Structure 1
Amino acid sequence: MRVDRRQLIAGGAAALGVSLLVSVGRAAPSTRVAGLIARMTLAEKAGQLSCYSDAIRPVGAVFNPVVNPQDAAAQLAAIRAGQVGMIFNGLGVAGARRAQAAALDSRLRIPLAFAADVLHGHTTIFPIPLAEASAFDPVLAEASARMIAREAAASGLHWTFAPMVDLARDQRWGRVAEGAGEDVLLACHYAAARVRGFQGSDLRRPETIAATPKHFVGYGAVTGGMEYGAIELSDATLRETQLPPFAAAFAAGAASTMSAFGTLNGVPLSGDRRVLTGLLRDTLGFAGPVVSDYDADRELVAHGYARDDRDAARIAILAGVDISMQSGLYERWLPDLVTKGDVPLARVDDAVARVLILKERLGLFDDPMRSLNAGVERRTVGSAAIRSAARMAARRSIVLLKNDGGLLPLARTGQRIALIGPFGADRSQVNGPWSFASTGTNAIDLATGIRTRMGVDARIEVVAGSGIEAPVADGVAAAVAAARAADIVVLAIGEGASMSGEGNSRVDITIPAPQRELAAAVAATGKPIVVVLTHGRALALDGAVAAAPAILATWFLGSEAGHAIADILFGIHEPTGRLPVSFPRATGQQPWSYDRPSVGRPLLPPPAPQDGRAGWRDARDTVLYPFGHGLGYATFATGPTRATIDGATIAVSAEVHNRSNRTGETTVQLYVHDLVASRTQPRRKLVAYRRLTMRGGAADRVHFVIDRAQLAIIGPDGSPMFEPGTFRFWIALSSADGLASDIEVPA
């Protein structure tokens, strides 16, 4: 597992924007922290390493099975006894102050830390992370995370179990919604941006929260897209794809990290010392606390890796899990394990030091009521500034997949619109998965957004037509009647919020059958259709949906969804999103990523025979919409790519043309293929991208400059290295277009 951490950033992450991994090594504990550890009993040390669901300010159902439940009175008593270090997924300042007061009544007066899974918003919900990756704009992601942190901290939080930086290439896995898509470079940029946004420049500031990139490591590669499942990865693939986003997050200063569910090459990740100590600590140099995922330490028993709960606690702490989440195993077993010599006291003290140092970095010892101000909470939560940021992020996350005949944008006046589908007027769905602190009652649905933007002489009829996964009595007939009476149909279909996210893997990633039947019936009326997709993954579109003349991928956009979609539908703003994941032609193409390695029998250009070639007999070896794809109302094209060498750098350029008569924005992407290497290389790999705004009819030459480190591959010893040879470059508008240029790059 040895790999040079500087090379990991420079090569495996392909141009992270930093030349080496910033040192995140932990300084020696302060006098205060060292003094506390010297005074603590084993039971109090175990308490600091124990994290529990918040029973004092519960928010109702939060995804996860009920494990080790407590009521408020029992939890407050445990806090006063020094048996709790942090509590998570609670809501509100008042309850947090009550809990913190109990901690200050404990013998050593060690404050609690309040944590939560704030993946894409707290009370005001921003687009799911996969959606925001569509903006191809880490600056936007950093600004969103800063606003999310401000609102979360105002509600009494110090720490988030986010961002999720797992790289996922299988759209059957529900948690693709929580990440940045299938590309390594984009995942690295977004991981670092979200850490910076959450944490700011100083964790002591009351509007910041500590970040926890998760799940270390490889969780996004679960076999068959099955949640909590097994992971089989070679060391080289692990280093090429899964480690770089974590390295980027750590280089950005992430305060903590979380171990993964599942097994990596047969070993449960929450009990794998080779990963949590060897790779995380020794190789990457990370020294913040590691928190287990929910009950993951106890699950070592179900894996068959531990004999019983006591053994599971021993394995987890020795592997490198510092904080036990929800299981209560550390509180229950660590004192006995240390007393009987099964776990060294030094290992426990090291874990406690990590926790106390984080609390010190958060300023909790000096101000235990930090971020617990009811006045700030009232002024901040749901403020106009945060809602405005959510709307902008949502607008920038929308991808125009198709616009045949220039059907979009819609006219704001003089039209009769039929808004058909289960997502037209349903506010409960727009937030998507992991939005535990918001019920959706403050969200803007699509019908409201459209009405807000329509002129006085326009008309809209809203008909559900079907449920999300079940038909509605007479729903199709009502929808067909509405379509016939309309000039244009906006068909709002897709996945429900409960169909994506944790625990929501799917074997079939098509739109549910009742909605496909609805789409077919509406299409049969012959009226022009704009499909507005709600979804948490790339979908396999078919039938009337795929055939619709205009399709918008709108993901789960959060509190301002309706306003943002209406802004795009009516052309008030340009669609600027680009796909961070490939849309397959069929579910059976999964897993898929555009950067698949070259094969020995590639398909030949038609009409050459394809027998004995790498492909499927019943589907094309291409996707419906490739990574990087996205249209605007302006039309762009790129000219031939030109590549030259200037000393240590490679300069790549191409002309970009706006072939329309309107100003627009596009994202220009630079891809590379290493034609001959000692390890099979991707057919294309993204190495840079840039957003351009151009006037109608304008042309400009875009330039990229890269160095050899960005062309590195994983060598036989597991370390990234550069091999001289011929490289093919494309400047393109997606991973499937562009005019290439080959160049010889010497050593």
Structure 2
Amino acid sequence: MNNTQLTGLLEQMTLEEKIAQMLQLVVSYFVESEVDGQITGPMESLGITEETVNQVGSALGIGGAARVIQVQQNHMKNDRLGIPMLFMADIVHGYKTIFPIPLAIGCSWDQDLAEQSAAIAAKESAVSGLHVTFAPMVDLVRDPRWGRVMESTGEDPYLNSLFARSFVRGFQGDDLASDVNRVAACVKHFAAYGAGEGGREYNTVDLSERQLREYYLPAYKAALEEGCELVMTSFNTVHGSPATGNRTLMRDILRTEFGFDGVLISDWGAVIELIAHGVAEDEEQAAFLAIQAGVDIEMMTSCYVKYLPELVRSGKVDESLIDEAVRRILHLKNKLGLFENPLRGADPEAEREIVFCDEHRAASRELASKSCVLLKNTNVLPLQSEQQIALIGPFAQSKDILGSWSWTGAEEHFMNLHEAIQGRITSSKVLSAEGSGIDTITEKQIQEAVEIARQSDVIVLALGESSLMSGEGGSRTDIRLPEAQLQLIATLRTLEKPIVVVLFNGRPLDLHGVEDQVDAVLEAWFPGSEGASAITDILYGDVNPSGRLSMSFPQSVGQIPVYYNHFNTGRPKKESEPDNRYASQYLDSPNEPLYPFGYGLSYTQFKYDDMVLSSEEMTSDLPLQITTKITNTGNMPGEEVVQLYIRDITGEVVRPMKELKAYSKVLLQPGECIEVSFTVTEEQLKYHHYDLSYTSDAGEFAVFVGPNSRDAVERRFRLLK
């Protein structure tokens, strides 16, 4: 359908039909009753009619080709103009084949594998009938108390931006119209949802314009530059106004400044929540504020369909606002090829062949192994096949390893950690006991754990959070392991056997009672469908861990927020003055995180030779070349993530102590030495100044190259202007 035909279709629509296109309902509204064949659902609670449901533009939370086909065909019979529905869902880190949670994917520092994971999720989703995924979530997060940190790729705007691009490319491909194996991506949550006060879900956000632009907006902008088709509003306030009704944010920044002309959809119930926020008196005013802000689709509330018709007829809302929203919705449907083929890629037969196939599971296993981060190892890992292992803990035989937003995961078809280890070594070499529940422990559990631990050479503890302890609505003030698991560690420590902890969790944790009590810590996150196999690969040295943290681990919750790219202060803590009370510090804790951004160990060792700069001066026309040599001094092949950071020593406004500007992931054989080079341009030195102009400062800069944000070699150069 060309633009002229789309305009003609829009002209045929009544006002009510247009506004119905702007409503999204869950799939239960479209299921026919087995009793009377009528469309059922809790329509009364939303104050809508069956006629409105027949005209609705999109459905939420459906899956399965046969079901989608049935709902779409029924809809096409009932819609006067035969306009197909869009089917959308939260396919965040996999459809049936579940990949590691996004925070873990961020720790892979592997953009290609991230893109592949999104492409596989898109392929499985599309053949199962979906058109749109509510992903990627690119919210920058500095507070691990927030449950949805598991959906982010971390605390750094540059790294988040790279992954935002990778996910959008993977979901959408090059041509949505011709490639039915892809789905449209919806970047979320615009904007700054990850900055909620106290790490509390749905909470207030209060940022300066500079902070918003410098740290929180870049990843959204990167997704849009990659062609992301939809944007979802966030629940929070931005500069005192809820995002869903924030005209400055949505019209001025998103539409005008960023040039976004795709579909803007509210998050679940966010339009009506303008009332609770205190900026709308009632549903009518909520509808008015949201349409003025440019929200095209209202998800799961009915303010638009109930009040926009009269607002238009009374002249309070110009119908052109309705037309522009509906035109964008129709354009997306057209881009997906739905007018020619309303069923698009939905195919039950192909679905059986494609979904959770061996190829996809292998990709999930590879990404899981690249996402695990080895945090501590005192020569106990890798394990040896002949060692007797005591596998203990609530995750030893649990399949709760997918994490939040894995609602479509094929849970019955993958292994737990005990099964995976048994498949790797002689089964008699691994004994298993629960040891404790997630947050409960009994004397019997302790006795069973101690008994098998005494028979073993090494204790492997599979510990962590349940999947419900993170994700949406999963904010926590205490981010330590539950006391039951800490008690289990303390008990087994008395046996004086080597202890390896494998962590399953959706956030950086306070590891007191863990890190200081055990010999090795492997952060596995929620690793997905093939996570148990990937962990086994690492534990036994079949894979050398290469993950690096994309978010800092705090010493304790009292430090939060703790992040690497912080400002200096007028009274920084100095190593040369350890007894100076009047410095920016805690009396009872270091300032630094337990494990910094970019950190991760390997089974081999890497030696960095001196960094060489091509010049001590650079200009906009003469970039700086930075070179260092990396040698694998161990006896095992390994991947190193060589990281480059910059600091503007004297800026117009205060600049961070370090900012990630580039990295290179390199594979080295034992004894191999390679040269890694980076090019630093003036563009990389720009930032938002006091007047929000985006430019650079002449003067001195520090450049750091190293294996993480803490352990890096520093050199200086000057930018001449």
The TM-score by the shorter chain falls in which range?
A: over 0.9
Whether the aligned pair in 2 keeps the contact of 1:79 and 1:102 (CA below 8 Å) is no
Change (3 A) 1:284 1:707: same
Q: Which residue of 451, 456, 479 corresponds with 1:509?
A: 479
TM-score, structure 2 as length reference: 0.95
Q: Is the 8 A contact 2:265 2:296 kept in 1?
A: yes
Match of 1:195 among 168, 178, 184: 168
Report the Cα distance in structure 2 between the residues aligned to 1:473 and 1:439, rounded to whole angstroms.
34
Q: 2:493 aligns with which of 523, 528, 543?
A: 523
Contact 1:430 1:440 in 2 (8 A): no
Amino acid at match of 2:82: R
1:94 aligns with 2:71: no
**Are residues 1:286 and 2:260 paired?**
yes
State the one-letter code of the partner of 1:533: L
Instruction: Name the aligned partner's letter for residue 451 of structure 1.
Output: Q
Equivalences for 1:640-679 in 2 at 5 Å? 640-645=610-615, 647-679=621-653
Deviation of the 1:535 alpha carbon:
0.8
Moved more, 719-728 or 474-483: 474-483
Q: Which residue is equivalent to 1:65? A: none
Deviations 1:333-390 (A, max 9, x none): 2212211222110000000001000000001011111012111111111111111111
Distance 1:606 1:425 in 2: 50
Contact kept in structure 1, 2:481 and 2:511, CA below 8 Å: yes
1:635-714 alignment to 2 at 5 Å?
A: 635-645=605-615, 647-714=621-688
Which residue in 1 is equivalent to 2:458? 488
Q: Distance in 2 between matches of 1:662 and 1:390?
A: 24
Which residue is 2:214 aligned to? 240
Amino acid at match of 2:252: G
Structure 1 159/75 Cα, relative in aligned 2: closer, same or farther at 3 Å?
A: farther
Of the three residues 374, 390, 400, the one matched with 2:374 is 400
Aligned to 2:3: 30
The whole-number CA distance in structure 2 between the counterparts of 1:569 and 1:56 is 48
Deviation at 1:575, TM superposition (A): 0.5
1:613 aligns with 2:583: yes
Contact 1:417 1:486 in 2 (8 A): yes
Moved more, 563-572 or 86-95: 86-95
Structure 2: which amino acid aligns with 1:389? A
Q: Give secondary structure in 2 for the equivalent of 1:212.
A: strand
Report the counterpart of residue 85 of structure 2 in structure 1.
112
Quote the residue 1:345 is aligned against: 319
Match of 1:226 in 2: 200
Report percent identity of matched pairs. Answer: 39
Q: Could you tell me how far apart the structure 2 residues matched to 1:118 and 1:57 are?
A: 21
1:468–1:515 Cα contact (<8 Å) kept: yes
Partner of 2:36: none
User: How far is the alpha carbon of 1:668 from its aligned partner?
Assistant: 0.3
- CA positional deviation for 1:681: 0.6
Aligned alpha-carbon RMSD (Å): 1.8
The farther-off stretch of 157-166 and 370-379 is: 370-379
Shift of 1:103: 2.4
List per-residue Cα deviations over 1:302-349 (Å, max 9, x = no partner): 111111111111111111111000012212222122112221100000
Are the counterparts in 2 of residues 56 and 95 from structure 1 also a CA contact under 8 Å?
A: no
Aligned twin of 1:431:
402
* Cα distance in 1 between the residues matched to 2:567 and 2:607: 27
- Counterpart amino acid of 2:151? E
**Partner Cα distance (1:261, 1:731) in 2:** 38
Contact 1:29 / 1:357 at 8 angstroms: preserved in 2? no
Any stretches of 5+ residues in structure 1 without a counterpart? 1-27, 59-67
1:563 to 533, 539, 550: 533
The corresponding residue for 1:184 is 157
TM-score normalised by structure 1 residue count: 0.92
The one-letter code matched in structure 2 to 1:181 is G
Whole-angstrom distance in 2 between the partners of 1:438 and 1:697: 42
Structure 2 residue aligned with 1:133, among 97, 103, 106?
Answer: 106
- Which residue identity is paired with 2:417? L
Is the contact made by 2:489 and 2:517 (CA closer than 8 Å) also made in structure 1?
A: no
Matched residue type, 1:548: V
Give the counterpart letter for 1:663 in structure 2: P
Distance 1:473 1:49, change over 3 A: farther
Contact preservation (8 Å) 1:451, 1:460: yes
Query: How far is the alpha carbon of 1:472 from its aligned partner?
Result: 3.6
Distance 1:372 1:251 in 2: 29
Matched, 1:445 2:416: yes
Residue 119 of structure 2 is aligned to residue 146 of structure 1: yes
1:56 Cα deviation after fit: 6.4
Confirm or deny that 1:415 pairs with 2:387.
yes
Conservation of the 8 A alpha-carbon contact between 1:277 and 1:320: yes
Query: Distance between the aligned counterparts of 2:514 and 2:339, measured in 1?
Result: 60
What amino acid is aligned across from residue 24 of structure 2 in structure 1? C
Indicate the residue corresponding to 1:330 in structure 2: 304
| Aligned 8 A contact 2:643 2:708 in 1 | yes
Cα offsets for 1:606-633 (capped at 9, x unmatched): 5632311111111001111111011111
Match of 1:48 among 8, 21, 24: 21
Alpha-carbon distance in 2 for matches of 1:332, 1:97: 29
- Which is bigger in relative contact order (C-alpha 8 A, separation at least 6)? 1
Q: What SS does the corresponding residue of 2:586 show, helix, strand or coil?
A: coil
1:263 Cα offset (Å): 1.1
**2-side partners of 1:151 and 1:335: how far apart?**
39
**8 A contact 2:48–2:302 mirrored in 1:** no
Tell me by how many angstroms 1:57 deviates.
8.3
Cα distance change of structure 1 residues 136 and 343 upon mapping to structure 2, 3 Å threshold = same
Deviation at 1:77, TM superposition (A): 4.8
Query: Counterpart of 1:175?
Result: 148
AA of the residue aligned to 1:262: N
2:23–2:305 Cα contact (<8 Å) kept: yes
Give the residue type in structure 1 aligned to 2:175. D
Aligned to 2:37: none
**After alignment, is 578-587 or 29-38 more displaced?**
29-38
| Distance 1:243-1:272 versus aligned 2 partners, 3 A rule | same
Aligned-partner Cα distance in 2 for 1:453–1:374:
35
SS of aligned partner of 2:84: coil
Q: Which residue of 2 aligns with 1:356?
A: 330
Out of 563, 567, 579, the residue aligned to residue 593 of structure 1 is: 563
Report the CA distance shift for 1:335/1:29 in structure 2 as closer, same or farther (over 3 A).
Answer: farther
